[in-house]
Every structure is written in structure tokens, then in C-alpha cells.
Amino acid sequence: MQGKIALEEHFSPPADFDKRLVYFGSRLPNWPDFARRQEAMWDVGLKEMDDNGVEHTIVSLGAPAVQQVLDPNDALDLARRTNDFLAEKCAKHKGRFSGFAAIPMQDPQAAARELERAVKDLGFKGCMVNGFTQLKDPDSALYYDLPQFDPVWEAHVKLDVPFYLHPRNPIATQMRSYEGHPYLYGSAWAFGVETATHSLRMMGGGVFDRFPKLQVIIGHLGESLPGSIWRVDHRIKKGGDSTPAKKPLAHYFRNNFHLTTSGNFHDSTMVQAIAEIGVDRIMFSADYPFEDFGQAAEWFDKAPLSEADRLKIGRTNAQKLFKLK
């Protein structure tokens, strides 16, 4: 399929831009290749797009990025500089790239202002936030169901742009269940569990009752939630528990969440996601540089979909959500 739009694809500035942007994966044996490809989004990534029918990509800073910066003022400064860098790169390739803003959730008011600047002045399409935010203490973890983040949701609703919740590992003190099994870190397992739990907290914490128009994107065909959401609701009710939310969690999943295919190129997983959330809320993505546009496109172009649904997932759902011409 030609004309695909992708939206979980990552860049990094040059290595000397700011050492705080070093990805956790720098410990991995194959990290040098990922790092090279991430810095080369604008040429290596663009060639992969051209070779695989990807017309437009919404680019974001690789995880954990601004969310790991402990000082709020430093986080704001880094977010602004990174967003300006990304805007310059997008401007050099008009029509091929848009941006997701990095925003400093350490200071929700500042995050809302930076989102507004990025959307109104830089033309960005929303933001990508890399999981929970650390603040002052390296062992801290702030999750976005907390009421203090309401200014961020107010800004998203006002600007009518989505919030992309991207994975990161749990903080080190909360990873004892992975001890001795490092292959479960990161995108193999820990990322998905962390992001699914964060999403459930937002659903159950009443965020979408306060902001019913807020739209959230998660990747990897839903971080296992399409297959789990029914049981979560069922066991909450069966156990006699209740949440602060007014409706079952599946209601918010179907009305406030969108999923991408990033890094999960599997037919049955996509069929299940469509059955649970609907074809109008799923969008194509690869997860560059950790995945290849080629593998993503080869799978998607042959996936068991009607051509009408392939067009929706590959292009028109993103056009509608992001108001792309």
C-alpha cells in the first residue's frame, strides 16, 4: 500500500546535544546500530519510508527522554530545545515529517504551555510522553491519573490534539520480578506491562470523566489490553471492588484510546484489537529505529484486511485524528 502514515518513529539529536537523552538501551549489544539509525531518521529513515510506501511520519524523541530529568526547569529547557531542533528538521522535509512535542510533565503548567507553543508555533500534532515522570528523587514515579496533571489534559482538549503514552521500564527499585531475567526488560515484556498498567490507572482514575474528549494513543496494538480489558472489568466487579471512574474501564478504552501497530506485526493480535476497539481506532506504525519500516510494511500490506480497512489503518484514520491534509 502506498501513502501510509506512521506515527511511532523516533529520532535523537546528535550525541553531543545533551547527555540526558541517552536511551536506556545503550547497555544493549546492538545499541550502536539503533543509535546510528535514530540519529539518521532524516536520511536512513526517510529512505526506508520511500522504499516501503510510507508517505508521512510523525516523529518523536526516543524514550525515556524528558521524563527522566529530575529538575523541572532543566526538563522544560531540554523539551524546548529538543522541540525546536525537531521543528527545524521537519521544515527541511516539508510534507514528509511532522512532530510530536516533548513536554516536561515535572511541571504540569509548564507542560501545558510548551504543548501549546509546539502545536501553535511549531505545527506539531500533539505530544509523546515516555511513561511516568521522575521528579527530584531518582526513585520517584508520577503517573498521570493524578489530579495535578489536569492542566495538561485541559490543553490537549483545547488544542484538540492527542496524547501518545509511550513505554519505559519501571524504575529500578520496582523491577525485582525481573531479577535474573534481563531478556524481559524493555520492549520484550516490561514496557508493555508498565504502559498497560499506566493506561488502566488513567481509565480507572477518572481522567476521562473529567475530560471526556481527551484522546490517548498507545502502541504495539494495545500493550495486551485488547485481550485483557474484559477480565479486568469482570474481576473488579466480581470482587466487589469499584474504581473512581463512572463507567467500566472498557468504555474508556473504546472511546478514548487509539492503538498503533508499532512493533507488533502479528495477524491474530490485530484481529483481536479490531474486534475490541474497532478498525477506526487503529493506525499503522513501525517503531523505527528498533523495528524496520520494511518488515512493518511487508506484513501490513499482506495482512488479512479488506482494502477499505487497510486504507483506514494505513492512512485515513491518522489523517482524521491529526487533521493531515
Q: Which residues are catalytic?
A: 287
Residue type, 133: T
Whether 173 and 139 have beta carbons less than 8 Å apart is answered as yes
CA 242/CA 235 separation, integer angstroms: 10
The C-alpha cell that represents 104 in the structure block: 516536561
Query: To the nearest 5 percent, what fractions of the chain are helix, strand and coil?
Result: 55, 15, 35
Give the Cα-Cα-Cα angle 134, 259, 46 (nearest 5 degrees): 85
Residue indicated by cell numbers 470482587? 239
Give the pairing type, strands 4-11 and 216-218: unpaired
C-alpha separations of 109 from 70, 103, 113 in Å: 16, 10, 6
CA 8/CA 57 separation, integer angstroms: 8
Of 110, 89, 26, 91, nearest to 63 (Cα)?
26
Cis peptide before 289, with omega less than 30 degrees from 0?
Answer: yes
Q: Which residues pair with 57 in a beta bridge?
A: 6, 97
Residue indicated by cell numbers 536512513? 44
